[in-house]
Amino acid sequence: MRVAVTVDDREPAGLVEAVRRHADVTEVRVERLASGDLAIGSVGFERKTPRDYVTSAVGRAGSDLTDQVERMATAYDHSYVLLEGEFADLESLRTTVSPASIRGSMASITARQGVPVVPCTDRRRLVDFAIRLGRKHAEDPTTDRLPVGSVPSRREPTTKRIYGCIEGIGPELAATLYDRYPSVEALLEAGREDLTRIDGIGEVRANTIAAAFRTDGTRE
């Protein structure tokens, strides 16, 4: 499935170009958005660099991220804050804000406002993740029923539950995968040989895991 993306006209040209280069984008519109920096259908995204995030979420200057998130929640059915960086980037900034306060703000926005805050490493991965999210929200959910006990409890981390939904994995292997790759981004960076080194994952399961995150059905 391919999607059309709207980019706010105040965003840098490099972001627009990264969206245009993505293979799953059919159209890119550059115009003023009432809220968010990217929009795919009814899904909105606020893009933040590490410094932008700290300034707007817990700093004393700049825009108010809480207000931005509230406006996105009103404008879109689904909203996300995507960071163009990693946790380490947030914590290495020269700022008076403590790393604990930064992590706390991310947890607060995710839990209390219902808008996930997701570190995406760099711009290319941020764009790719946004497009994957927009596409998933637009797709019709599968009607196939999963076997009882095949997916970890809802109390488990979301990433572990995602792993448990992969065909042939289940809770035990999902926990093993989650211990090794606590984010989907980390799992996507792993090669098939890395996966087959995990006890219980052979070549067939490694191919299945790789294919689960590729919509074109290809396997590495």
Q: Residue 63: give its domain's CATH number.
A: 3.40.50.10130
Which of 138, 168, 199 corresponds to the end of one domain?
A: 138
Of the candidates 186, 189, 220, 185, the one whose C-alpha atom is nearest the C-alpha of residue 206 is 220
Same domain, 32 and 97: yes
Q: Which pLDDT score, from 0 to 100, does residue 183 have?
A: 87
pLDDT above 80: residue 151: no
Same domain, 72 and 108: yes
Percent residues over pLDDT 90 in the chain: 39
Q: Is residue 152 part of a domain?
A: no
Same domain, 125 and 202: no
If one counts the domains in the chain, the total is: 2
Q: Which pLDDT score, from 0 to 100, does residue 61 have?
A: 52
Same domain, 98 and 15: yes
- DSSP annotation of 84 reads S
Q: Is residue 145 part of a domain?
A: no
Q: Which pLDDT score, from 0 to 100, does residue 124 have?
A: 95
CATH code, domain carrying 191: 1.10.150.20
Q: Is residue 150 part of a domain?
A: no
pLDDT above 50: residue 219: no
Q: Which pLDDT score, from 0 to 100, does residue 33 have?
A: 96
Q: Which pLDDT score, from 0 to 100, does residue 214 have?
A: 63
Domain housing 176: 158-212
Alpha-carbon separation of residue 199 from 150, 196, 206 (angstroms): 19, 7, 11
Same domain, 116 and 54: yes
As given in the structure block, the two tokens for residue 61 are 């200057």
Q: Is residue 218 part of a domain?
A: no
The model's confidence at residue 217, banded by pLDDT at 50, 70 and 90, is: very low
Of the candidates 118, 107, 117, 33, the one whose C-alpha atom is nearest the C-alpha of residue 76 is 33
**Sheet strand arrangement including 43-48:** 25-31, 3-8, 38-40, 43-48, 78-83, 117-119
Distance of alpha carbon 84 from alpha carbon 77, whole angstroms: 23
Of the candidates 33, 36, 26, 23, the one whose C-alpha atom is nearest the C-alpha of residue 5 is 26
Same domain, 44 and 119: yes
Q: Is residue 47 part of a domain?
A: yes
Same domain, 116 and 175: no
pLDDT above 80: residue 186: yes
Residue 109's SS3 state is: helix
Distance of alpha carbon 83 from alpha carbon 86, whole angstroms: 7
Q: Which pLDDT score, from 0 to 100, does residue 144 have?
A: 53
Which of 109, 138, 167 corresponds to the end of one domain?
A: 138
Mean pLDDT confidence for 7-31: 96
pLDDT in tens, 97-124: 788 888 888 898 999 889 999 999 999 9
Q: Which pLDDT score, from 0 to 100, does residue 57 have?
A: 81
As given in the structure block, the two tokens for residue 154 are 């809802």
Residue 44's SS3 state is: strand
Same domain, 115 and 49: yes
Q: Which pLDDT score, from 0 to 100, does residue 59 have?
A: 58
Distance of alpha carbon 143 from alpha carbon 157, whole angstroms: 23
Same domain, 193 and 127: no
Distance of alpha carbon 188 from alpha carbon 212, whole angstroms: 10
Distance of alpha carbon 71 from alpha carbon 14, whole angstroms: 25
pTM beyond 0.85: the answer is no
Same domain, 130 and 165: no
Out of 45-59, 120-134, 150-164, 187-201, the most confident range is 120-134
pLDDT in tens, 61-85: 545 888 899 999 999 999 999 999 9
Q: Is residue 32 part of a domain?
A: yes
Q: Which pLDDT score, from 0 to 100, does residue 20 have?
A: 96
Q: Which pLDDT score, from 0 to 100, does residue 141 have?
A: 56
Q: Which pLDDT score, from 0 to 100, does residue 63 have?
A: 53
Of the candidates 54, 77, 79, 59, the one whose C-alpha atom is nearest the C-alpha of residue 68 is 79
Q: Is residue 107 part of a domain?
A: yes
Q: Which pLDDT score, from 0 to 100, does residue 17 have?
A: 97
Amino acid at the residue 173: L
Q: Is residue 147 part of a domain?
A: no
Q: Which pLDDT score, from 0 to 100, does residue 142 have?
A: 52
